[in-house]
Structure 1
């Protein structure tokens, strides 16, 4: 199969995978299955005849299109960061967690003063957790996504007013 034979949305998924830094991505929906891997030791299923080929593969939602959701617990939810703030974005695709583990307080709260390098949240993908740190010292103005929601690489997570 050449690159020209791929549906446009699948090509987009492959490009995003290559930019994400992930080593492996496995997606299965009905009869459609795709495994993307940079590892030489990736487990590959034996080829089988597909019973149906989807006519359209859904592309990920653009990062700037934040889902309308309830405010994150203890924070505020806004579609866009308040003017004059610095946006802290997701380094990769994954699940956004405000706390280090369930039942514990969030890393940061709206209105909290934080130092440069302060831990703000975790992004989890395939049991691999990435700590997101603030790049500047300042005040947390807004939490832009809901705890436990899926985020994309580059999606705004927090708005911080620099001190």
Structure 2
């Protein structure tokens, strides 16, 4: 048994063990984990982080992920509990600057890019056999749904963000997309 002096208010921090992770009782069902693994296997990612409750999984291909002091020195592919809530970003954003990918280069001054808010599967239609949400040349409002990104069987709508005319669709239907990947080029509405 470890004892602490009256000056110590908490036990010293230690690197979590497998037993520590199990004792926290974090719920991740096998279907959800299998979907994550399948998605990671199909895409060319360099870094991936998954947070649910107190569970955090970080995976990296190539160079190791940078770790902060709060993360400790755990290997990049280890699951471990953390303190504090997860803060996932799940909203699409637009950008005016040109991007490095081939089909989104050379934007006109009045064009902007709608990017993927998450890693997942890109769908242009609400369900198979339905028409696409939008077509090239179509005028859309800021709240118009341009596509959906499926992540672990959850469908996430991606809005335009601002009114404009669809100039180019940069991703094929059913393709895996990465976080921040360009999806559409729009021209601002006059």
What TM-score, normalized by structure 2, do the two folds share? 0.49
Q: Secondary structure of 1:129's partner?
A: strand
CA distance in 1, matches of 2:106, 2:178: 17
Structure 1 alignment gaps of length 5 or more: 3-22, 30-34, 43-56, 69-77
Q: Which residue of 2 aligns with 1:124?
A: 150
Residue aligning to 1:90: 116
- Pairwise CA distance, 1:121: 0.2
- Structure 2 counterparts to residues 1-163 of structure 1, below 5 A: 26-27=36-37, 36-40=50-54, 58=61, 78-80=103-105, 82-84=107-109, 85-163=111-189
Matches of 1:100 and 1:91 in 2, distance apart? 18
Using the alignment, how far apart are the partners of 1:154 and 1:81 within structure 2?
Answer: 18
- In structure 2, list runs of 5 or more residues that go unmatched: 1-14, 16-31, 42-48, 63-98
Give the 4+ runs in structure 1 shifted more than 2 A: 23-29, 35-42, 78-84
Tell me, yes or no, if the aligned pair for 2:36 and 2:152 is still in contact at 8 Å.
Answer: no
| CA RMSD, 1 decimal | 3.3
TM-score (norm 1): 0.57
For residue 27 of structure 1, give the secondary structure of its aligned residue in structure 2: helix
Tell me which structure has the larger Cα radius of gyration. 2
